[in-house]
Chain A
């Protein structure tokens, strides 16, 4: 069959997302893995590891966008107002110095920023996040997060894999392992980060899970997926190649017994051929309307990069990608793996980071909502830890895993609430602490997975994302 080059004959966007998914996912059966025997599961994994698998129970969320502010965003300057901290700024920490400290703990440092009430819920959000503040009724702020590691590396690993030191599969890998992905023409787990994020690949590694569940890193926003174009052969010539390839493979197979691996490889080439046109389309942020681009701040220099990342994330989840992680690693001024690491520059760098992300994040939430996607898309915001309410130097804060803030929106989350609390100074998580493991358990739960039952046998033991920990935080769920 003759196929035209889509560059000359661009197909109009399918009418609905559902329809498009059907088109894209065609030819791949839905597999509920729960009922399969292990060996069949393994065979299926080899044949098409990303085939859709039904969740264990009805899911509130079908996909996740995790906005990762690496470096550790300060909670007391953004989402966790602490009037007493401000009142006692400059005084010593009113309780015993922590036993584990990176540098000498300084005196209390009140936030230089104002907090304003937003929305019907009236939740206070820092002036640094005016647009996100406008969305607060859709957001569930968790002010009582707890993590275990005081360094970026360990903490980033824990936030992404549950483990601080050793190689473990990441959250996105577990999700794609458990659920597959809805669009077979795209990777199931995409990481968008224009500069190298802290720690690199271990944060999206599949570790001992099959490699197909590893995150695909997009760092070049203009050329997101490798090897999508042949420099010399056009699509019709490649089509001819694939037809001959298929026939040769059939001759090869006829002399042998049925082998799912051999058949799987034929399918993989067909899929690759389709990806050549469709993956480019999925990442093509430029095809969005001007209004949408403005919504994400693509028209303004400070917000352009992160806006592009967020818009790309929306395009991907819209097309059925299971898990998209968006790392904030580049501003107009600089690229860094730890943009939010304000040991200094609290009064300059932090506002710059917020300015670069505020509008795009709000744009993402509004856009998802407007498209009806927010109800089953879980948006998660946060970093690997927060920052000390005490000062480091004159204008900075240290790392702080003992009490910090993250938030979630959409995907079955109860918006318009601030859950849990730190003490009056923002140091310890005192009311309803939510550990990283609990957050993971809750995310899995929202995706229709019991975190204690998504396991993989490795090295003599059934591993889970939450190891032997984790409780679902029911109060976060609508």
Chain B
């Protein structure tokens, strides 16, 4: 029963600890340091602080004693008379005497026993790790302090420590107490007070003998409000309009206008996305794919829309926790909202699947508790929370809810990555409509296919009497000397034959059952110098990397200057070389698996294809990551001399061995003319002229030498090279003639006879027939009526296709029940994971909410996961934290700091509110307004507090240097998004298209929040300017000031391009420098330049124009006004005024 015991101990220790901490915390003065770097060290060997001391005990010693010793030395059983479950019984010891001598580990029996160095070796079933032994010894050396014992002693009353008794009457920590409605306090300078907010602020200031800052001027105000609510600068026209508006509600009108702008939701949605650890892609390369959160952007758009619609915040909360369970009319958006739970950051692809499930639940507990309630429950995953009254029971009560929820459709096999759930978003009616449509489409499609097949069949049948004619013609075409200029089309025309049929008969005769890769591509994924070929499907393909370095595309890597094939999952790819001469060749080379990380190895075959079809020269196979030379394959010994005739081919077939996804095979093939000087190297010939279409010429001027084949549907791979008996007979008949190309007339008769025999037996009228039309462009041979009917049907089908219902959309959302087919499938409570380990399970905890917030008596969760209940509880009007946490976040983004300066931590380690009455007033107001966020913006922005100048009264700077009392406005730096958006706005290039999948090209002039965020990529613009790190929830951005930021503004191509656009705008706006400078200040800063500023500008422009500009001259540009203006604009754009808002 160690678990029960541990819990009992935990609860005792905790209550006592809490009391201690509460007593130790100053009433309102200095709060715990928000950042502590190297904590001042105590003198070596000196006593440790209680906290440090207890941490060691609670995290390392107590769990050990419970887990490894408790079963035999606990309350239930005390072997050897020893109990190890409290300090006094421990000190008393057992049959062998005291177990410990505080301060002297070497003399302590307990330590000796666990060191295994005496007669007594404990635990008997396996020794502790050295680190564990060290922890216990360390604890004993420091005096074996047992927090629970001390707490009990303290509670009984030693002097000097004010200790609240651990009873029900203990006042709860401020944030766990209900929100108390507050009346605005009385103030002296009441004329300043414009709103209740002001009364709270002024009262706090007056209590310290302070006065508010002066009111900011109108230009400052509109700039502040516009950035604040939309993340964009006001236009000069908007500034002028506000300056001109003398009506008493001019300011309120500005606020309302901005709140109504769609840009508002983008700005404030982004603030929430910081909390939501939003990313567009979890994949390390941002390429999407199955394992990625490719639908995350729908959640981003949902958030933006929620802000723009002013969705009541309680609905905003419930949707994100349990939107999929809300009434059906809301279902669509609700499921998208639950993406909050699905887009978390946990170790995808771990072989340890139990770990993945616990990590996912942990991520969800964390985001819900910190995001909505501002409490850190995550600590209680491993132990009772050290500072807040949250127990492991509370944690696993909540975790049970998330273990009964799934965001993965299933668990994949070991080592494979998990695929996030994609929840289809459609109503039953939609589903029915789609099913009907699909059925109709299938029907028509089938009819069209059948009719066409019937027409082609009938045509192929009608051509059968022509068989002999085509056969002989095809045979002759094959024997035409190369390079004499007669094309197949000319030949057909001369004989009155259909070119398509002649071509197909020729191919039929050569038994060429591979398809040429007819499509070409270049720069796949934007990679320069890479070219390729593929057939009807994307794979198989052949890729040529002409670069001197390796290039990585998607998942595969192309070695430098190489030709690689990439077979399909089941079908192979082949490279053929057609011999331009008759003689003998030596074949060398081999194949290399260029991508050992993927695939299951390959098989290869080297064939010679003569007129009798293919025959194998050599073949081989190897495992993933291997390579093989042709000479080492089966039959490879003969490759030094292979007889060949003109027109014959050497073909290397690369075939998937097992599964061949994301693999790359480097092909080296060199063919040397035996007794001659010519050498053909695949890489050399193809790299020399990679853009050439397939077939590819060689460097001796022979067209058609290299051919790249798609082997889909080929029988060769299966080894079924057996020839059609009919063809075999034909070959046998004409074969000997081949030896005598200048055959006499008699031979000709033999050919005709063989052809007639062939025709007599040839009756194919299906797609195997060479008369079967395979290309739409050849269908013009069909009778006009047939063509008309087919084209009419095709048009009908096309029209039906175009009327397709919109594609099903999916969300990366959450659904009820644990991961199907996993140990957590369905709904159930979970056991405590001792020290966070799923391998050590403790008591089963009913699904419920933290006791300190929801009380001891909670209605049991009996149906479903409990997510809906959780959502409703968090979003209830009386929840002590939810409204407080959100109004604080709103306040934080208006003033730079929250009233509580740790916005996601309202617990003991968080900061206390600097003005709790104000916080509670706002929270009450928030709930009363129907949880309207826009109402809160108005309540804040219409106050005199918000309209203060950023210049503080001198006394405030001394008394309240951190502006905790909000006695002036804090200057704010534009965040990464606002900085880039500001550039785009003033350059006039901003494209305000909303929503949709993230864009990847940084040059795209859309708002920055739509720019791709890749979780594992911390390079680039966002991280440079402190954008939210999407790997974890973030409540406050850092504000770094580093040189690479300056380098970006000085030299980055994007910054320079924007500078040029702004400069163009300015030079076009006014005729001369002084007027342009005025325009620049108006556009960039919303004001008129000071004379000193204008003077600096004019002088700079003059100097720039006079300066010899080496670089620009070299670029052939005149160092004229353009460059000077660009350089000047750049200064203004780099200046503090551009980046900071007062």
Is B106's CB within 8 Å of the partner chain A? no
Report the separation of the CA atoms of residues A244 and B1092 in the bound assembly, to the nearest whole angstrom: 11
Contact call A459/B1031, Cβ cutoff below 8 A: no
| Set B32, B40, B1034, B1053: member contacting A457, Cβ < 8 A | B32
| Set B415, B957, B1023: member contacting A102, Cβ < 8 A | B415
Report the separation of the CA atoms of residues A395 and B1029 in the bound assembly, to the nearest whole angstrom: 41
Is B125's CB within 8 Å of the partner chain A? no
Is B1136's CB within 8 Å of the partner chain A? yes
Contact call B1136/A461, Cβ cutoff below 8 A: no
Among A82-90, A108-116, A247-255, the one that faces the other chain is A247-255
In the assembled complex, which residues on chain B have CB atoms less than 8 Å from the CB atom of A449?
A: 38
In the assembled complex, which residues on chain A have CB atoms less than 8 Å from the CB atom of B1026?
A: 210-211
Contact call B34/A232, Cβ cutoff below 8 A: no
In the assembled complex, which residues on chain A have CB atoms less than 8 Å from the CB atom of B1019?
A: 201, 217
Chain B residues within 8 Å of chain A by Cβ, number: 122
Contact call B625/A343, Cβ cutoff below 8 A: yes
Is B909's CB within 8 Å of the partner chain A? yes
Contact call B379/A45, Cβ cutoff below 8 A: no
In the assembled complex, which residues on chain B have CB atoms less than 8 Å from the CB atom of A349?
A: 596, 625
Contact call A248/B1016, Cβ cutoff below 8 A: no
In the assembled complex, which residues on chain B have CB atoms less than 8 Å from the CB atom of A205?
A: 1018, 1029, 1031
| Set A241, A336, A343: member contacting B1131, Cβ < 8 A | A241
Contact call B1130/A460, Cβ cutoff below 8 A: no
Is A38's CB within 8 Å of the partner chain B? yes
Is A375's CB within 8 Å of the partner chain B? no
Among A61-69, A127-135, A265-273, the one that faces the other chain is A265-273
Contact call A226/B1052, Cβ cutoff below 8 A: yes
| Set B350, B1052, B1132: member contacting A227, Cβ < 8 A | B1052
In the assembled complex, which residues on chain A have CB atoms less than 8 Å from the CB atom of B607?
A: none
Contact call B345/A167, Cβ cutoff below 8 A: yes
Q: 0/1 per residue, A97-124, Cβ < 8 Å to B?
A: 0001011000000000000000000000
Report the separation of the CA atoms of residues A153 and B356 in the bound assembly, to the nearest whole angstrom: 13
Contact call A49/B55, Cβ cutoff below 8 A: no
Contact call B1135/A249, Cβ cutoff below 8 A: yes
- Smallest distance from the beta carbon of B128 to chain A beta carbons, Å? 12
Which of B349, B370, B950, B1029 is packed against the most chain A CB atoms within 10 Å?
B1029
| Set A46, A229, A241: member contacting B1127, Cβ < 8 A | A241
Contact call B40/A34, Cβ cutoff below 8 A: yes
Report the separation of the CA atoms of residues A204 and B1018 in the bound assembly, to the nearest whole angstrom: 9
Closest to A49 in B: B1040
| Set B624, B1033, B1127: member contacting A237, Cβ < 8 A | B1127
Contact call A257/B626, Cβ cutoff below 8 A: no
Is B1142's CB within 8 Å of the partner chain A? yes
Contact call B1139/A265, Cβ cutoff below 8 A: yes
| Set B355, B1048, B1103: member contacting A165, Cβ < 8 A | B355
Contact call B59/A468, Cβ cutoff below 8 A: yes
In the assembled complex, which residues on chain A have CB atoms less than 8 Å from the CB atom of B1136?
A: 249, 252-253, 262, 265
Closest to A146 in B: B129
On whether A459 and B905 interact (CB within 8 A), knowing A34-B40, A226-B1044, the answer reads: yes
Contact call B1131/A210, Cβ cutoff below 8 A: no
In the assembled complex, which residues on chain B have CB atoms less than 8 Å from the CB atom of A241?
A: 1050, 1100, 1127, 1130-1131, 1134
The A-contacting residues of B in range 233-278, CB under 8 angstroms, are none
Q: 0/1 per residue, B593-632, Cβ < 8 Å to A?
A: 0111100000000000000000000000001111000000
On whether A471 and B131 interact (CB within 8 A), knowing A200-B1016, A252-B1135, the answer reads: yes
Is A446's CB within 8 Å of the partner chain B? no
Is A224's CB within 8 Å of the partner chain B? no
Contact call A211/B1038, Cβ cutoff below 8 A: yes
Contact call B1045/A261, Cβ cutoff below 8 A: no
Contact call A265/B37, Cβ cutoff below 8 A: no
In the assembled complex, which residues on chain B have CB atoms less than 8 Å from the CB atom of A337?
A: 597
On whether A455 and B905 interact (CB within 8 A), knowing A151-B349, A334-B550, A345-B626, the answer reads: no
In the assembled complex, which residues on chain B have CB atoms less than 8 Å from the CB atom of A202?
A: 1015-1016, 1018, 1031
Contact call B1104/A237, Cβ cutoff below 8 A: yes
Report the separation of the CA atoms of residues A457 and B38 in the bound assembly, to the nearest whole angstrom: 12
On whether A34 and B37 interact (CB within 8 A), knowing A154-B350, A344-B624, the answer reads: yes
Contact call B38/A262, Cβ cutoff below 8 A: no
Is A207's CB within 8 Å of the partner chain B? yes
Among B144-152, B528-536, B986-994, B1108-1116, the one that faces the other chain is B1108-1116
Contact call B1023/A214, Cβ cutoff below 8 A: yes
Is B351's CB within 8 Å of the partner chain A? yes
Closest to B1130 in A: A241
Contact call A210/B1111, Cβ cutoff below 8 A: no
On whether A237 and B1107 interact (CB within 8 A), knowing A46-B1039, A460-B387, the answer reads: yes
Is A264's CB within 8 Å of the partner chain B? yes
In the assembled complex, which residues on chain A have CB atoms less than 8 Å from the CB atom of B60?
A: 468
Contact call A38/B34, Cβ cutoff below 8 A: yes
In the assembled complex, which residues on chain A have CB atoms less than 8 Å from the CB atom of B1142?
A: 256
Contact call B346/A165, Cβ cutoff below 8 A: yes
Is B739's CB within 8 Å of the partner chain A? no
Report the separation of the CA atoms of residues A227 and B1053 in the bound assembly, to the nearest whole angstrom: 8
Is A456's CB within 8 Å of the partner chain B? yes
| Set B359, B387, B904, B1092: member contacting A251, Cβ < 8 A | B1092
Report the separation of the CA atoms of residues A240 and B1112 in the bound assembly, to the nearest whole angstrom: 16
Contact call A457/B971, Cβ cutoff below 8 A: no
Q: 0/1 per residue, A272-284, Cβ < 8 Å to B?
A: 1101100000000
On whether A56 and B41 interact (CB within 8 A), knowing A150-B351, A343-B625, A349-B625, the answer reads: yes
On whether A245 and B1134 interact (CB within 8 A), knowing A450-B41, A469-B131, the answer reads: yes
In the assembled complex, which residues on chain B have CB atoms less than 8 Å from the CB atom of A21?
A: none
| Set B55, B623, B1033: member contacting A393, Cβ < 8 A | B623
Report the separation of the CA atoms of residues A56 and B39 in the bound assembly, to the nearest whole angstrom: 9
In the assembled complex, which residues on chain B have CB atoms less than 8 Å from the CB atom of A210?
A: 1026, 1038, 1040
Closest to B601 in A: A344
Report the separation of the CA atoms of residues A271 and B1046 in the bound assembly, to the nearest whole angstrom: 9
- Smallest distance from the beta carbon of A81 to chain B beta carbons, Å? 24
Closest to A247 in B: B1096
On whether A240 and B359 interact (CB within 8 A), knowing A34-B37, A252-B1135, A272-B1046, the answer reads: no
Report the separation of the CA atoms of residues A257 and B214 in the bound assembly, to the nearest whole angstrom: 14
The B-contacting residues of A in range 453-471, CB under 8 angstroms, are 453-457, 459-462, 468-469, 471
Contact call A461/B623, Cβ cutoff below 8 A: no
Report the separation of the CA atoms of residues A55 and B311 in the bound assembly, to the nearest whole angstrom: 51
Contact call A468/B1096, Cβ cutoff below 8 A: no
Contact call A33/B1140, Cβ cutoff below 8 A: no
- Smallest distance from the beta carbon of A8 to chain B beta carbons, Å? 10
Report the separation of the CA atoms of residues A241 and B1133 in the bound assembly, to the nearest whole angstrom: 11
Contact call A248/B1093, Cβ cutoff below 8 A: yes
The A-contacting residues of B in range 28-58, CB under 8 angstroms, are 32-41, 52, 55
Is A41's CB within 8 Å of the partner chain B? yes
In the assembled complex, which residues on chain A have CB atoms less than 8 Å from the CB atom of B231?
A: none
Contacts A227-B1051, A460-B902 known; list 15 others, CB within 8 Å: A42-B35, A151-B351, A165-B359, A214-B1018, A225-B1047, A226-B1044, A227-B1044, A236-B1107, A240-B1103, A256-B950, A256-B1142, A262-B971, A268-B1042, A271-B1046, A345-B626
| Interface residue ranges, A against B (CB under 8 Å) | 33-39, 41-42, 45-50, 53, 56, 100, 102-103, 149-151, 153-154, 157, 164-167, 177-178, 185, 187, 195-196, 199-202, 204-208, 210-212, 214, 216-217, 225-234, 236-238, 240-241, 244-245, 247-249, 251-253, 255-257, 259, 261-262, 264-265, 267-269, 271-273, 275-276, 330, 333-338, 341, 343-345, 349, 393-396, 432-433, 435, 438, 449-450, 452-457, 459-462, 468-469, 471
3 interchain residue pairs of minimum CB distance: A167-B1031, A38-B33, A272-B1046
Of the A-B pairs whose beta carbons lie under 8 Å apart in the complex, a sample of 22, sorted by A's number, is: A37-B33, A38-B34, A46-B1038, A46-B1040, A53-B37, A53-B38, A153-B348, A166-B346, A166-B363, A200-B285, A204-B1018, A207-B1032, A211-B1026, A216-B1044, A217-B1019, A227-B1050, A245-B1134, A268-B1045, A272-B1046, A334-B596, A459-B904, A460-B910
